[in-house]
Structure formats: structure tokens, C-alpha cells
Amino acid sequence: MDWSFIGHYAPFFVTGALMTLTISVFGIALAIVVGAVCAAIETARIPVLRQIVRVYVEISRNTPLLVQLYFLYFGLPKLGFVWSAEACAIIGLAFLGGSYMAEAMRAGVEAVPVVQRENAVMLGFSRLQTVVHVVVPQAASTALPGIVANVIFLIKESSVVSAIALADVMYMTKDLIGMYYSTYESLFLLIVTYLIILLPISIVGSWLERKFNYERL
């Protein structure tokens, strides 16, 4: 292991990490919005929209992110839609993450006991009050571990964006290995970078899960 190489090229990984984070933050934020909308449509059993959501979820979960990105980046321009690589990466991550988030949130809503809603009805709550004050807080508590796991999964999955020439940490690594054959050093930097990004998220996630687990003893 060449430590001077690591010292010299570490700043490359800071730049790459910023790209990874930018794509991830926007992609995941969008995925959470898409997931919430889809989960709402499914749990409210809205006809037609509900079937559309099912089709979306199945396509999204059963195709690789790489293929989704190729479709957005190379396929859509043929149909006249031209996007920047960044936009493709963010939309791709949101497209994949949306279905995972939707499933986690739907499971959360479905785990709220029926009697909780019936209590709300008997106390005179309107439908909106029931959703806001009874269903969502309890569903969020159940869905949170799944949502945190999805966030971590999507940040890791963002490494695929290097395939459409976005300079994230994965791209930097492949570049350095290609130029200097510095396989060990580059992979070491790559792993350390991912750990620096993901460990704090994992720790904060666990803390949130404990804080919002109302049934804990």
C-alpha cells in the first residue's frame, strides 16, 4: 500500500463524494415524495391510479438501476427527450427508490390496527384528522427502519451513475485504477469514503428508530 498515493489522491474522493451526495440527496428526497404519494394511493384504494402504482412498483423493483439509467440517458434522447447526466441519475434513483419507499410506507400504514381508526371515528375525528393525528404518526414509526435501510441502499446503489460518466466516487476509483494501476489504494479510498458517508447515516437512523418506536419497553 502506497500511503503517499493515498495522501495525494484523497481530494479526488472528496470531489467524488460531493457528487455521490448531491445525486443521492435529490434522488432520495424525490424517492420519498414518490413513495409517499404511491403509498397514499394504494392505502386509500383509489381505483385506476392504484393499478398504475402496482405496475410502476413491479417495473421499478424488477429491473436493474443500470438498465433504468441506460434507458433514461441513451434511450429517451432517441425519442426526443434529452436530459443531463445529473438529471438522469437523480430521476433514475428516484424511480428505483420510489417503489422501495412506497412499499415500506404502505406496510407502515397497513400495520396500524383497525381499532386505532375506529377509536378516532368514535372520538369524532374527521378523515383528515384521523390520517394526520392517528395513522401517519403510527405508520411512520413502523415504516422508519425500512425507510432508513432504503436510504442507505440507495446511496450505495448510486455508484451505478459512474456508468453514465458522472464523476462520483466509483468513477474516481475506476479512473485512478485505469491510470495508475493503483488497485489497492483506490479501492481502500473508495471503501473509506463510503463508510464516512454511510456510518453517520446509519447511526442517526438507529437513533431515530429508537426515538419513534412507541412500543419500546
Partner 1 sequence: MTEQQFRGLEVRDLVKKYPKAERNVFDGISFDVPKGQVLVIVGPSGSGKSTLLRTVAGLEPIQGGTIALDGDVLETGKPGTEKAGRSKRPSALRTRIGMVFQSYDLFPNKTVLGNITMAPVLVQKRKKADVEAEAMALLERVGLADRADAKPHELSGGQRQRVAICRALILHPEVLLLDEITAALDPEMVREVLDVVLDLADDGQTMLIVTHEMQFARAVADRIVMIEDGRIVERSTDPDEFFAHPKTERAREFLHTFEFERRRKHEDGEPIREFEDVD
CA distances, 87 to each of 34, 45, 120, 171 (Å): 16, 32, 43, 17
Piece of 46-54, 86-94, 127-135, 195-203 that binds partner 1 (CB under 8 A): 127-135
Rounded CA-CA distance 170/190 in Å is 7
Out of 48, 55, 81, 216, which residue is the one contacting partner 1 (CB under 8 A)?
216
Question: What's the closest the beta carbon of residue 115 comes to partner 1, in angstroms?
Answer: 5
Question: What's the closest the beta carbon of residue 116 comes to partner 1, in angstroms?
Answer: 6
- DSSP 3-state helix, strand, coil percentages of the chain (rounded to 5)? 85, 0, 15
By C-beta, is 81 or 214 nearer to partner 1?
214
Residues from 103 through 122 that contact partner 1 (CB under 8 A)? 113, 115-116, 118-119, 121-122
**What would you report as the CA-atom Rg of the chain, rounded to the nearest whole angstrom?**
21
**Site of grid cell 438501476:** 65
**Site of grid cell 454511510:** 198
Interacting residues toward partner 1 by CB under 8 A? 113, 115-116, 118-119, 121-126, 129, 133-134, 137-138, 141, 214-217
